Amino acid sequence: MNILVVDDNKFIREVVSAMIIDNGHAAIKADGHKQALDELKKDTIDLVLMDIEMPEVNGFELTIMMREEHPQWFPIIFLSSNDSEEYLTKGIDAGADDYLTKPVKQVILSAKIRAMERIANMSGALARANKQLEILSSIDPLTQILNRRGLEEVLANAWQVNERQKGELSILMVDIDFFKPYNDNYGHPQGDKCLKQVSDSLSETLNRSTDSLARYGGEEFIVVLPFTPKDGARFKAKELISSLLRKKIKHEYSSVLPYVTISIGIATKCAADNIVNATELIKNADIALYQAKEQGRNGYQTFITDV
């Protein structure tokens, strides 16, 4: 661990640092609040050992400053020759996690470091687990692409960037043609397999890191294409349709072809458009999708906005 020792007394700093090094950890020394805060900005600090009685800014005040400026948790242990209950209570209230009286004994400091290391490791594991849960909550379990929640986050971000840079944002609403008769005749397990195959085909055709694919619901998908004008969106729609046809996924119950096909609705937000939000953009893509189905499916239509 990287352990920050904050004490205005050089002798105490050196003694405590030597104990830390003997325990196999790295000691980083600071003589007061300015150097301590600078070290926190430079290095990843796993534990802080801090004197309370320091000039200018005492340990209580410095702890509050650390907690405000660095929201990520790390343990703080106070070192003080004052062992009064008032000091202990004030230290914990300020944001410290433990309290040791001076002179510090090697065996006690070693035990405290081991205990804080265990807590820090558990905290890190919990943070990683929470991050993983957050990621999983945005992923569709069947297709392993973004779900509706993930789409909302991606689209909101794309919308903000588009507004800031006055670019063009396109979305494609994709629907599997005659998916209900596919499910009814081949069964739901095969239907799930079909959804995964279509999802994989769409993913393979998106070749920019800025593009995103999400399952919107049922057999519908949405493709988000930042910095893409109408012509670029039409080109991508053609690619998506052709790529899936090359897979030749059998569909004997389709009225279009004996293979699984898709229909696509395109909507684009330009700087001159009066589209107010991403929800309206999705609505426009849905209207264009309906038009694509009316035109015979296995194709695409573009929503024409009123400027």
- Annotated catalytic residues are 219
In angstroms, the CA 140 to CA 163 distance is 28
| Nearest-5° Cα angle at 169, 206 to 178 | 55
Show the tokens assigned to 46.
Answer: 């796993």
Question: Is the distance from CB of 120 to CB of 75 less than 8 angstroms?
Answer: yes
Query: What's at 16, amino acid-wise?
Result: V
Query: What's at 258, amino acid-wise?
Result: P
In angstroms, the CA 47 to CA 77 distance is 8
- For 18-25, the CB contacts below 8 A with 24+ separation are 19/104, 19/106, 19/109, 19/110, 20/49, 20/109, 20/113, 22/106, 23/109, 23/110, 23/113, 25/1, 25/113
Question: Is the distance from CB of 77 to CB of 50 less than 8 angstroms?
Answer: yes
In angstroms, the CA 151 to CA 139 distance is 9
Task: Count how many Cα atoms sit within 13 Å of the Cα of residue 164 in the half-sphere of its side chain.
Answer: 7
First-to-last C-alpha distance (Å) of the chain: 60
